[in-house]
Amino acid sequence: MKIAITGVGSYIPETVETNSDFELHEFYNTDGTLIRQPNKIIIRKFQSITGIGERRYAKPHLNTSDLASFASERAIADADMDPETLDYIIVAHNFGDIKSGTVQGDTLPSLASRVKHALQIKNPNCVAYDLLFGCPGWVEGVIHAQAFIKAGMAKKCLVIGAETLSRVVDKHDRDAMIFSDGAGATIIEAVEEGGDILSHKTVSYTDDEAYYLYYGKSYNALPGDETRYIKMYGRKIYEFALNHVPNAMKACLDTANIEIDALDKIFIHQANEKMDEAIVERFYKLHDKPVPDGIMPMNIHKLGNSSVATVPTLLDMVRNNEIDGQQVKKGDVVMFASVGAGMNINAILYRYG
C-alpha cells in the first residue's frame, strides 16, 4: 500500500492589495513612536527583503471556512471521488473564522465541521477536526492523515490549510504587509499504484522560542484598547529558521535513505523570500552541494504569506503550470517543509506517482 496525494485544489482570493496601497499607512515602532522614514522607503526595503510585491485579501462576506470549502471542492473534483467516502477532514488554521471588520476568532463549531457542512457530507463516520500548529499546519495535517491510513483507521482524508490573516494584522505594524489570505486542500489516499509519502519529520521548540509569534496590542494603541493582533520577532524567527529548518529537512531526507541529488523540488512555506532562499542554501550546504537551479518554486511575490495555505497553494499552482519554468512529473521526489508559530518545524518527502 502507498499513501498518495490524489487531488489538489486551492482558492486564491480575488482582491489584490499592492505595496503601493500601504503608502498612506502610519507605521509605528514597537515602543509606540511614529516611524519618520517615508513610507515609500519603508515599502521598498520591505520588498527587497521579503520579495512580496502584492498579496490577496478575501472579500468581506467570505470567512476562512468559506475559502477552505472552495479549495476542498476543487481538490475533491481533482481526485474524481465521492466526498461521502472521506474518513477524515482536517482543517489547519490559526485564528478561526474572523468576520470582516472584527478581530475576534470564531471556532464554534470547528472550521472542519463547517467545511463538512458546506460540502453537504452526510456520513457520520467522516470525522472533522481542526489542527492548530502555526504555519506548518497543512504539512502536519498530511502527516496525521498518513498515520490514520497506516493504522487502518482511514482510506481517504481531506487535508486543508486556510487563513484570512488580513483580518488579524495591525495596520500600524510594518509586518502587516507580509500577511495574506488563501486556502489549499489535498486528498490523501491509500493506493496500490501511484505516489507515496516516503518519510516525514516534525520538531517543536518551546523553550525560549515559544512566543516568537504572539498576540499583542497595536503599536498605536489608544488608552484602554485591549485589541490584540498578530505580532512577531522577525529577526529571532529568521535566525531560528536558518539554524533549525535545514536540519529537520536533512533528517527527513536521511530517514528515507535518499540522496539529495535525487530531490527534484522543494515546496517550502512562503514566509520570506530571502529567508526561504537562505534555508535551502544551508540545507544543501549540509550536504556540501550547491543549490540546483529551479529547485524551489515561489509564489510569495504575488500572493504574500498566507500561513498554512502557502504550501498546498504553491503545489496546486505548479501542478497547473501557473509558475513559469516549474512543473512536477511522475517519479519526481519532492519535499514539503514549513516553519512557524510554536515554534514548529516539519518536512515531508514525497514521490509523485
Q: What is the pLDDT of residues 169-212, one digit of tens each?
A: 999 999 999 999 999 999 999 999 889 999 999 999 999 999 99
DSSP assignment of 190-209 equals EESSS-EEEEEEEEE--STT
Mean pLDDT of the chain: 95
C-alpha cell at 35: 516611524
Q: What is the pLDDT of residues 201-259, one digit of tens each?
A: 999 999 999 999 999 999 988 877 888 999 999 999 999 999 999 999 999 999 999 99
C-alpha cell at 38: 517615508
**Alpha carbon 257 to its chain's center:** 27
Strands 228-232 and 263-268: unpaired
Q: What is the pTM of this model?
A: 0.95
Burial-class residue 322 by CB neighbours within 10 Å (0-12, 13-18, 19+): middle
Does 315 score more than 90 pLDDT? Answer: yes
Q: Residue written as cell 512580496?
A: 52
Does 62 score more than 80 pLDDT? Answer: yes
Contacts (Cβ under 8 Å, ≥6 apart) of 129: 88, 89, 90, 91, 110, 112
Angle, helix 273-285 to helix 234-255, in steps of 10 degrees: 40
Does 104 score more than 90 pLDDT? Answer: no
pLDDT of 171: 93
Domains for the chain: give ranges and CATH numbers. Answer: 2-193 (3.40.47.10), 198-351 (3.40.47.10)
